[in-house]
Structure 1
Amino acid sequence: MPTSRVRLATAAGHELLAALGALRAEVGLPEPTGTAGFSAEALAQAEGAARDRLRPVPGRRARRRDRTDLPLVTIDPVGSRDLDQAVHVEPRAHGWRVHYAIADLPAFVRPGSALDEETRARGLTAYGPDGRVPLHPRVLSEGAASLLPGEDRPAVLWSIDLDVDGGLTEALVEPVLVRSRARLSYDEAQAALDAGTADDLLLALRRVGMLRQEQERARGGVSLDVPEQEVVVGDDGAWHLRFRAPLPVEGWNAQISLLTGTAAADLMLDAGVGVLRTLPPADGRDVARLRRTAAALGVPWPARAPYGEALRAVDAAQPAHLAFLHAATSLFRGAAYAAFGGDDGAAAPTGDDARHAAIAAPYAHVTAPLRRLVDRYGTEACLAACAGARPPDWVRAALPGLPALMTAAGRRASAYDRGVLDLVEAAVLAPQVGRTFRGVVVDVDDDGRRGQAVLPAPAVRAPVVADGDGDALDLGATLDLVLAEADLRARRVRLTAAGTPAQAGRLRSPGS
C-alpha cells in the first residue's frame, strides 16, 4: 500500500505532542520519557535485578542449564530493543526441531515487590509515535532482560519437535542461559531470503513456517492479514502514515510463536493449572452476513468452503477485497483469558471454551513477557508442568485475577492505539480541508448513509457520510471523497462522499 510522508509545521508538531500527552492522561498512561512513570522504589528494584540476573526464582524447582551453544537469532521490527524471543530451527532425521528462547522475567521481578505491583497495574507495553510506555523499566526491557546479541541472558527455552509435515510431536520447556548470535530485522531477513543469500537457519524457518501455515489451514485456523495502519517517525523527525502489509517472513516467524503457544496450552491443560487465550467460534449470523457481503463484492467463496478459505484468497490491493477483509473482522470478537487451577479452584475449560477459534486449537500467551504481563505466569505454569511440580504459590495466587487485569490493560491499549491514529490523521489532514481524495468504502451502516472509508495516500481510515443529495454508500465502492473536517483537538476526521461512485450498486449494507 502507498505511504504518505508529511512534515508538520513546528506549531502543529507541538500541538500534536501536547495532544498525545492529553490522550495518555485520558486513558491512564504515564509519559514515555524519563522514568516512564515508575516509582523510585520500582526503578531501584529493577536496577538491582539487572545486576543480579541469575538469582533463583521463588518456587521454581528446575535448575538453569547453560545453552549458550545454541546459535539463536532474534527477528523483530527495525530498531527494536525489547527482544522477547530468539529462535533456531534445524532439520532432524524425521522432521524438525525448533528451539525458541523467551526472556525470563521471573528472574528479574520478585512477586509482591513494588516492581511487580507496578507491572501488574500496567499489563502491557503501550506504543506511540513519540515513545513507548514500557511494561518494565528500560534497564530490564531494553537491557538486562532483553535477548540482545552477544550477551548472556537468562531465558526459558522451548524445545519443540515436529514431524516431516510440521505436526507437533513433543515439547518441553526449561530455564537456561542463552546468548543470541544476531539481531535481524524483518526487512533484513526477507531480503536475504529473496536474494538467495539466507543462511540455513532462515531457510529452515521459512520451511517450517510454511509447514505450520499448512497445518493451520488443515485444522481450520486462519490469520487475518488486514494491512496495518501505522504512524512512522522518520530519522529527520517527519511524521507519516502508512498501510503496511506483513512480509512473508513475519508470517513464518509468527507461526513459531503460535506453535509455542499451542504447546504451552496443551501442557497447562494436561496439568490442570494455567491461563489460556480464548476466542469463541464465529457467530453463524456473522458468517452468513459475510458470505452475502462476499457475493455482493464479487469475492470468490465456494459454497461449502469455510470462511478461512475465502480470506486466504483475498488480495488487499483490490478495493473490493479490502472491504471484505474489514468486514471479516466481525468474526473475531470476544477474545478473553481463561485462568484455571489457581487459588479460587477454577476448573480447566473444555470444548470451545478452551479454544482460540482463529487458531483452531487451545492457545496461550507465553512468548512476549517483556511486553505482556500474563506471559510471565503462563510460562511459570509450563515450567512446573515439565518439572512434574505444582506452580509456585505466587503463580496460583495471581491466576484468578489475571483475566480482569489483562482485559483492562487491553482496553486501555486499544483506546490509546486508536486515539494516536485519530490524532495523527487529523494533524496530517488539517491543512487539506476541502480537498477531494480518492478512497474505498470499507464499512457501511444499515441506513447506507454512514460508514468508513480508506484513503491509500495519505494512509487514513476515517468516517464517511453520504452527500445529502447523493446516493447511499456502497460497500467496496471507489469514490471521490471530500475532506469536510480534520480537528486535532477533537481527534476527528470526517469525509463526505462526492459525486457518483466509480463502482456502485453492489451493496448498501452487510446486513441487507
Structure 2
Amino acid sequence: MPDEPAAATVQPDFDAVRTEFALPAEFPADVLAEAARAAADDTPTAGPGRRDATDVELVTIDPPGSKDLDQAVGIVAHGDGFRVYYAIADVAAVVAPGGVLDDEVRRRGQTVYLPDGAVPLHPPVLSEGAASLLPDGPRPAVLWTIDLDAGGERTAVTVERALVRSRAQLDYGGVQAELSAGRPLPAAIALLPTVGRLRRELAVARGAIELELPEQEVVPDGAGGWTVRARERVDVDTWNAEISLLTGTAAASLMLDAGTGVLRTLPAPDADAVEALRATAAALGVDWPADVTPACFLAGLPLDTPHALALRRAATTLLRGAGYAAFDGLDAPPPDDPGHGGIGAAYAHVTAPLRRLVDRYGTEVCLAVAAGEPVPGWVRAALPGLPAMMAASDTVAGKVDRACVDRTEAALLVDRLDERVEVIVLREEPGEVYLLDPPVVARCHGELRLGERITARLTVAEPATGRVEFTAE
C-alpha cells in the first residue's frame, strides 16, 4: 500500500492579525539610526555615578530563546534573613527623552508578542543587544538591593545605577529540571526556592489572588505548523515572579512615600463578588469555611479537576477594574485606594523596561527618590499621560494574544466539525466550556451545569475569525 499523505500542518494567518490591529511592521530609518548610535555609545558603562557591582552573582531566567532580558537575579544570606539583588535593564541610559526613538517608543507602549515574532517596543539593537542583560560582559543596569528578614518580609531597600555582569542565561524549564534531579542550582539562585516559597506564603496571607487558570499559548507543532497547548507554570517561574513582585511593591512604597509616581492598580474584590463566588462553591459542593479568605481558598484548590476549573473561572470576577494611576503632588494626589487587589499591596511596574514603556518612568522616579534628588522634569511631564497610553497598549496586546490563540484553535478544529467531544462547563450564562485536547475555551449553547463534564458537538470553527462554538448534547 502506498504511504498515506502526511496530515497538513495548521498555518494560522498571524499577518492578518498584525494588519487587523495596525501593528507597526518596522521601525523608521531615523529611529533605527538613533538606536544604533545609542548602542555604540559606551557612556552608560563608563559614566560616573554608576556603582561597579560586577562582583554580585547574577543570572537571568526567561523562556527559552529570549534575547530581551530585562532582569537578572541574585540572592544571598544576610544576617538572619536574605539579601535580594535584582538588576533591571537601564533603558533610560540609551533612550534620550524627546528624541525620535523616544517618540516611537511612546507610540508603541509595549512589546506585542505573536507566535511567529514580536513587534518590539525598542529596536532589537537595543532590546536584544546593548540594553539587554546578556551574559557576555558588563552591562549598565538599575540595581535593586532588597533585604528580607527570616520570614521573607522586606526590611530595607536601595536602588541605584550600577554596572553588572550576568553569569548565565537560564530558562525556567532547565532550572526546574536541575532542581527536580537534585542537582545544585547556580550560586546566584541557590536560595531562590527558599525565598520564593516564603514570598508566596506571604502573598497568600496578605490576600493576593492567584487564579492559576490554564494559560493557552500557541507553539510550533514540530512539523512546520502551529498548535495550542496549556502552558505549564513550573515552581521556578512562580518563585522568580515573586522576586519581580517584591521589587514592584518596593517601588510603589518609594513612590507613595515621595508623593510622585505611577502605580498599577486593581480594586480589592468587593463583597458581592466574594459572596457570589462562595455561592458558586456551595452549588458545586466545594467546602469553603467562613474564616478562609478568597486568596487562601483559591490557593488550596487543585489545578485540574472540573469543579476547581469552574471555580477558578468564576473567580475572575474578583479581579476587575485594572488600570494605572499617576500622581505628582497636591494637584494630582495618589489614589484613595492605591492597592492592587491581585497582589494584596500597592504595586508599580519597574521590572520590564525593555518590553513596557511605563517601567522606564517608574524606575527613574525610584532612582531620584532613593538618591534624595528631584524627579527629572521629562519624567514628571510624562506622568499624566502614561495611564491612558498604557491602557491603550495593554488592550491591543491582549486582543492580539487572544486573536492568535483563537485563530489557531479554530484552525486545529476546523476538520472536526460535528464531532462529539467531552468538555468541562466553566460558565452557565453565557455558556463557556473547556476542551482538554487541544486546550480550547469556547462558547457553548444549550443547557449547562457548572463544573460538569458533558458531551458537546463542535458546531463552529472559523480560522479566519477565530470563532469556535459547541452545542451541548
Query: For this structure pair, what is the TM-score category when the shorter chain's length is used for normalisation?
Result: over 0.9
Choose from 401, 411, 436 the match for 2:395: 411
Q: Is the 8 A contact 1:122 1:135 kept in 2?
A: yes
Q: How does 1:350-429 map to 2 (within 5 A)?
A: 350=336, 353-429=337-413
Match of 1:506 in 2: none
1:347 alignment partner, SS class: coil
- Which residue of 1 is the match for residue 3 of structure 2? none
Comparing 48-57 with 219-228, which one deviates more in the overlay? 48-57
CA shift, 1:441, in A, is 0.8
**Is the 1:430–1:486 contact (alpha carbons within 8 Å) kept by the matching residues of 2?**
yes
Give the Å deviation of 1:224.
2.1
Q: Please tell me the residue identity of whatever aligns with 1:376.
A: R
- Deviation, 1:53, is 4.3
Instruction: State the match for 1:209 in structure 2.
Output: 196
| Letter of the structure 2 residue corresponding to residue 29 of structure 1 | L
1:98 match: secondary structure: strand
Whole-angstrom CA distance in 2 between matches of 1:45 and 1:486: 46
CA 1:9–1:56: 2 relative to 1, 3 Å: same
Q: In the alignment, is the contact (CA less than 8 A) between 2:44 and 2:140 conserved in 1?
A: no
* 1:77-132 deviation line (CA, Å, top 9, x unaligned): 11111110000001112210000000010011111111111111111111111111
CA distance in 2, matches of 1:54, 1:441: 58
Can you list the C-alpha shifts for 1:252-280, whole angstroms capped at 9, x where unaligned?
11110010001101111111111111111
- Residue 196 of structure 1: aligned partner: 182
Query: Does structure 2 retain, via aligned residues, the 8 Å contact 1:301–1:309?
Result: no
Q: For 2:167 and 2:159, locate their aligned partners in 1 and report how far apart those are by CA, in whole Å.
A: 21
> 5+ unaligned residues in a row in structure 2: which ranges?
1-5
Corresponding residue of 1:465: 445
Write the mapping of 1:177-192 to structure 2, written as runs, cut at 5 A.
177-192=163-178
Q: Counterpart amino acid of 1:30?
A: P
Amino acid at match of 2:431: G
The letter of the residue matching 2:358 is: V
Deviation at 1:157, TM superposition (A): 0.1
Q: Which residue in the other structure is 2:282 paired with?
A: 295
Structure 2 Cα separation of the partners of residues 345 and 8 of structure 1: 64
Q: Offset at 1:150?
A: 2.4
Q: Take 2:48 and 2:293, find their aligned partners in 1: how far apart are those partners?
A: 44
- Counterparts of residues 327-342 of structure 1 (less than 5 Å): 327-341=314-328
Q: Is the 8 A contact 2:207 2:294 kept in 1?
A: no
Alignment of 1:105-144 (within 5 A): 105-144=91-130
Aligned equivalent of 1:278: 265
Cα distance change of structure 1 residues 201 and 300 upon mapping to structure 2, 3 Å threshold:
farther
Q: Give 1:203 shift.
A: 3.0
Give the structure 2 partner of residue 25 of structure 1: 19
Q: Which residue of 2 aligns with 1:312?
A: 299
Structure-2 residue corresponding to 1:39 = 28
Who is 1:486 aligned against? 461
Asked if the contact 2:45–2:140 (Cα under 8 Å) also holds between the matched residues in 1, the reply is: no
Moved more, 115-124 or 98-107: 115-124
CA distance in structure 2 between the partners assigned to 1:298 and 1:136 by the alignment = 50
Kindly indicate whether the alpha-carbon contact (under 8 Å) linking 2:209 and 2:343 is maintained by their aligned counterparts in 1. Answer: yes
Three-state SS of the structure 2 residue aligned to 1:149 is coil
> What is the CA distance between 1:55 and its match in structure 2?
4.0
Tell me, yes or no, if structure 1 residue 88 matches structure 2 residue 91: no
Matched position secondary structure for 2:191? helix
Question: Which amino acid in structure 2 is aligned with residue 488 of structure 1?
Answer: P
Report how far residue 66 of structure 1 moved: 1.4
Query: In the alignment, what sits opposite 1:78?
Result: 64
**Structure 2 CA distance for aligned equivalents of residues 317 and 220 of structure 1:** 22
Q: Determine the structure 2 residue equivalent to 1:451.
A: 431
For 1:211-241, what per-residue CA distance to the aligned partner results, in whole angstroms no more than 9, with x for missing partners? Answer: 1112112222232211201111145423111
C-alpha distance in 1, partners of 2:113/2:428? 30
Which residue of the partner structure matches residue 65 of structure 1?
51
What is the DSSP-based 3-state SS (H/G/I as helix, E as strand, rest coil) of the residue aligned with 2:434? strand
Q: Per the alignment, in what secondary structure is the counterpart of residue 147 of structure 1?
A: coil
Shift of 1:455: 0.6
1:475 matches 2:462: no
Deviations 1:7-26 (A, max 9, x none): 9736x62xx23xx2222222
- 1:62 Cα deviation after fit: 7.9
Distance in 2, Cα, partners of 1:47 & 1:371: 18
Which of 37, 40, 56 is equivalent to 1:48?
Answer: 37
Query: Which residue of 2 is the match for residue 510 of structure 1?
Result: none
Q: Describe the SS at the equivalent of 1:348.
A: coil
Partners of 1:215 and 1:131 in 2: how far apart? 37
Residue 228 of structure 2: SS of its match in structure 1?
strand
Deviating above 4 A after TM superposition, structure 1's stretches of 4 or more consecutive aligned residues are none
3-state SS, counterpart of residue 38 of structure 1? coil
SS of 1:192's equivalent?
Answer: helix
Amino acid at match of 2:297: A
The one-letter amino acid of 1:208's match is: V
| Runs of 5+ consecutive residues of structure 1 not aligned to the other structure | 1-6, 32-36, 467-471, 499-512
Shift of 1:67: 1.1
- The one-letter code sitting in structure 2 at the alignment partner of 1:145 is A
Maintained 8 Å contact 1:62/1:383 = no
Q: Report the aligned-residue RMSD.
A: 1.8
- Aligned partners of 2:333 and 2:218: how far apart in 1? 42
Aligned residue type for 1:83: L
Q: Match of 2:192, as an amino acid?
A: L
Distance 1:134 1:175 in 2: 24
Letter of the 2:206 partner, please give it: R
Query: Offset at 1:296?
Result: 1.3
d(CA) in 2 for partners of 1:192, 1:311: 29
